[in-house]
Homo-oligomer: A and B are copies of this chain.
Amino acid sequence: MNMKERLYQIGKKAKEASLELALMEAKEKNKILRAMAKALLTNKQLILKANKADIAHAKRRVKSKAIIDRLSLSESRIRAMSSTMQEVAALEDHIGRVEEFVRRPNGLLIGKMRVPIGVIGIIYEARPNVTSDCIALCLKSGNCVILRGGSESVKSNLAIFNVLKKAAEREGLPEGAINFIDKTDRKVVDILLRMHEFIDLIIPRGGESLIKEVARKARIPVIKHYKGVCHVYVDEYADLNMAERIVVNAKVQRPGVCNAIETLLVHKDMAARYLPSVVKKLRQSGVEIRGCAETRKIIRDARRAKESDWYEEYLDLILAVKVVNSVEDAISHIRKYGSTHSDAIVTENYEYGMKFIREVDSACVYINSSTRFTDGNQFGKGAEIGISTDKIHARGPMGVCELTSYKYVIFGNGQIRK
């Protein structure tokens, strides 16, 4: 059997298993999830051994330190993977819930019943925890999954997958429901992205180039999770203490993630009062400031921000700072340079706050809060499969409910159409 035939067979089996999985009761799915959580802990040595081989291999190919870190597992990281599985088991099960139930004038009762999507393909890069997280979220939402991880972590992923599959099938998971493709050939992805007969949705998890390539090649719906060029706009009516806490938190608390801010916008009447103190705090945390001309009149030793800085997702302790003339200018800047991820205004002015909420078209728009809350868990959804920057199907943090679809269920007593 060649690779294409093998992948199609996996797809076909997954599609068949999806019918069975869609009808599995919540308590059975949760039993499987808990068994998998346990199996991760019992088999941690096996997983760590595989991970060591991946790391050794990666180091020989002189990969960056950041990649080695993302790739590396430890006992505590495996415990975290296991905890996520337990948390997902404890989440609400959305499948079968009927929403928006209405009675029509002819007596028909019509509601929308949550159902799984079917088979979800995940194309991802280095982090091995994606393997267990995605299996947990897909299983919880009644979806089968086909995983294709990056070559750097293939041994770790395979070890995790084998441990989970064995534990899950012992507890009654239908055969073919979870799948991991251990061939790291690029062609595998190209084939998967065209298997629209068997795969209902593709979620790429990784850098922008991976996501762009997947979106370009896919013949299957893709939910994209692009970068976060997030902003805080400190308005002329901001509470300056609050604005300082929020900006420092949004930049410094975890700079390497997509919901951290990259650009600070400050109203011109606030700049002289606000910037010296917030920049001092930011610099104490090691943040480099890149400012516009107006900013550099106040923060004289700030590096000059180039046009390209406003588009940049630094994912690092760097902050671009721009002085703007009005809330309108702040909104225009965000529209032009932002990535429609997460943006915040700090203001005590009701009208400006509401204007910002209404006119900024980002997945998450904040008043008087750090952007760092854009996260499935923080939003009360439990674990997330990603943060969608798309507008079709799901936007913002995607939890288990966003991995479902619906069908209309209609209860009649003999209605016919006139």
Contacts and interface: CB of A to CB of B under 8 A. Distances in A.
B414 A378 contact: no
B368 A414 contact: yes
Number of copies: 2
Q: Tell me the interface secondary structure of chain A in the complex.
A: mixed
Contacts of A369: 108, 410-416
Interface stretch (A33-41, A42-50, A86-94, A354-362): A354-362
B104 A378 contact: yes
B379 A408 contact: yes
A108 B110 CA distance: 34
Interface in A321-377: 335, 357-359, 361-370, 372-374
Interface in A100-122: 102, 104, 108, 110, 113, 115, 117-118
A25 to B, nearest CB: 11
Which size bracket describes the interface of A in this complex?
35 or more
A110 B22 CA distance: 30
A364 B115 contact: no
B416 A372 contact: yes
Contacts of A373: 108, 410, 415, 417
A70 interface: no
B407 A361 contact: yes
B219 A410 contact: no
Contacts of A380: 102, 104, 110
Interface of A: 19, 22-23, 96, 102, 104, 108, 110, 113, 115, 117-118, 196, 200-201, 215-216, 219, 221-222, 239, 242, 245-246, 249-250, 253, 335, 357-359, 361-370, 372-374, 378-380, 390-393, 395-397, 405-417
Given A245-B414, A366-B412, 13 more contacts: A102-B380, A108-B373, A115-B361, A246-B414, A368-B411, A368-B413, A368-B415, A369-B415, A369-B416, A372-B417, A378-B417, A379-B408, A395-B407
